[in-house]
Chain A
């Protein structure tokens, strides 16, 4: 008993300073104190200097009347709205271009990435050229290429190019008919939702049946029929409530219809093309990372090449692909701030205008940084969840 007690007391009595745990905590505490003091010192100095220079500070300015217009807005906005709402409009524009860009970049990226591994010489070479071209040009130049090189040389509004379905293309953008939903059109949306729910249910049942009995069911065609057929049926039953508002010539521009502005188009196309080149490389690396034996084994089991890719190679490749894919999504979102060069009203542009109209530089920059950080963290969160879901589950 006695000897045990001596042994237990030994480390704490003899060398409190040499205890690695105590030391660890001590140094961490020092770092935290220094960090807090540093941040406090900078913040204190900023406030001090702002007061001394008689510059107004605080976030109260967000409630003021903005007074300027924004060309593209997903929500109701006019010059009577507040500065806060102007920043919100910019934030939504950033989110829109990022989400649409991410979807398109992923689709192009997967096609090109798989294309680079194609047996066909021509497809392989075209995909290689695509990747090498877009990967090696700075994104800003790609944006200028689309804006000044492609869209700006289109004809002026009075000589618009007529496209099918009442659409027009000119240097002010792409115009297409806007759908106007009449009375009873809610039925169509309900039918669409029911269709999607049914398709999901069918897919689930079919999977269960295949697991149990090995029999397959044509899920794709059934789903397509349900998702397209039900809304069509509802459309007919509710008495054709859908009409279109076609773009028409007016004094200056085309009016009516839906306009996709060249600023959005060029930013969207540039971000998609640029990021797709990187995604293609990631996809190629992912597929090459799946050992050749897997493909051969699947082939030996009698699967067709398409099925091998879909059922054996891609699911395993996804585990390699998703983490770097997350970085590319974050890059695309942050690159969208290059919009300022061509006047797309994204977060950087609108918050920058607010910053300038109010002179609240410190607050404006802080708001921008916090919002970009939040968008990026949210993207990472979603992708980490997706990654965990796609991780190899061993049976």
Chain B
């Protein structure tokens, strides 16, 4: 029901918004004093509230990084949990300023939906999870013909699933829910044999099941799922701030700037590090972007560099223990690459 409410709200907002001119997102954000960040309703490692009610995860931290760039304070963020169905309407209608919600970048979303994806904060792919104890002998997704598959509605996952089973001439019966918790509960209760979503998500969800050790993630990856934050089209300044916040996180890791050493690094002899941290004389990099010149310092102080963010939330420092893989920097054989900050 809620997505309808948001749909109507969206329609009404679109209807009532002053049609002539809409204020720039940066100005409205500065005026209200915080960034409204759209996150998931709870996906471990990406965006999920901890036991104190604080949102944790890569996606949540990304919004903090943007807040640090804009306000110099990573805590000036308010989070809006959104279901897969609600997320785009919420961004389109201006209910959130950034959609940082493990959302796959596709051409349709970049064009017809009026969004702009800023980059890929996590390269993912869709996988399958089964209960190995109940289904001994199943070790490949190609053995899943006839299975009941739990999936979240309104996702690319739902579409890839249909394509994969069709391409391999297999049958399945979809068990579709709107909210992640409902899918989790249905899989946990045995309503379906297979759970499919992005592989990172499967590892996160496995931890929340009754007996995590019984469940295995099958080796097949059936799709490309580049997950990243998105903003509304038609506001280039805000788009650039969010995009370069992402690049700054990568650049900081590449240059070895960490949360711990960022203050010493300001006095580094390297001209590149000085330039990135805004210590060059008469620098205009930050102000041209629309933020202060020490924006990168603020970002790293708030959430660390990309590598720290990854390790803390999904990598070796988290219960998920996901390897960097293709999410490593380009210098280490991965795909994460930042254009130069100069």
Contacts and interface: CB of A to CB of B under 8 A. Distances in A.
A103 to B, nearest CB: 26
B41 to A, nearest CB: 14
B134 interface: yes
Chain B interface residue bracket vs A: 35 or more
Contact of B7 (A52, A263, A364): A364
Contact of A68 (B143, B158, B175): B158
Given A79-B162, A252-B135, A253-B148, A365 B154 contact: no
B173 to A, nearest CB: 6
Interface string B90-116: 001000000000000000110111100
Contacts of A340: 1, 178
A13 interface: no
Contacts of A391: none
B146 A255 contact: yes
B174 interface: yes
Contacts of A48: 19
Chain A binding site: helix, strand, loop or mixed by DSSP?
helix
Contact of B114 (A44, A53, A78, A345): A53
B178 A352 contact: yes
Nearest to B192: A172
A68 B190 contact: no
Interface string B148-177: 100001100011011100100000111111
Contacts of A341: 178, 182
A53 B146 contact: no
Given A352-B4, A352-B178, A356-B85, A252 B147 contact: yes
A54 B148 contact: no
Nearest to A172: B148
Chain B binding site: helix, strand, loop or mixed by DSSP?
mixed
A42 B215 CA distance: 52
B114 A349 contact: no
Contact of B19 (A52, A79, A337, A356): A52
A252 B193 contact: yes
Nearest to A362: B11
B31 interface: no
Interface residues of A, number: 53
Interface in B259-290: none
A55 B116 CA distance: 12
A238 interface: no
B23 interface: no
Contact of B153 (A52, A56, A253, A352): A352
Contact of B173 (A44, A54, A71, A361): A71
Contacts of B161: 69
Contacts of B114: 50, 53-56, 359
Given A252-B193, A348-B4, A362-B10, 7 more contacts: A43-B15, A49-B15, A67-B163, A152-B189, A152-B191, A252-B148, A263-B175
12 contacts: A45-B14, A49-B15, A70-B176, A71-B173, A251-B143, A341-B178, A341-B182, A352-B154, A353-B153, A355-B7, A356-B3, A359-B109
Q: What are the nearest 6 A-B pairs in CB distance?
A: A356-B154, A359-B113, A55-B114, A79-B162, A56-B112, A48-B19
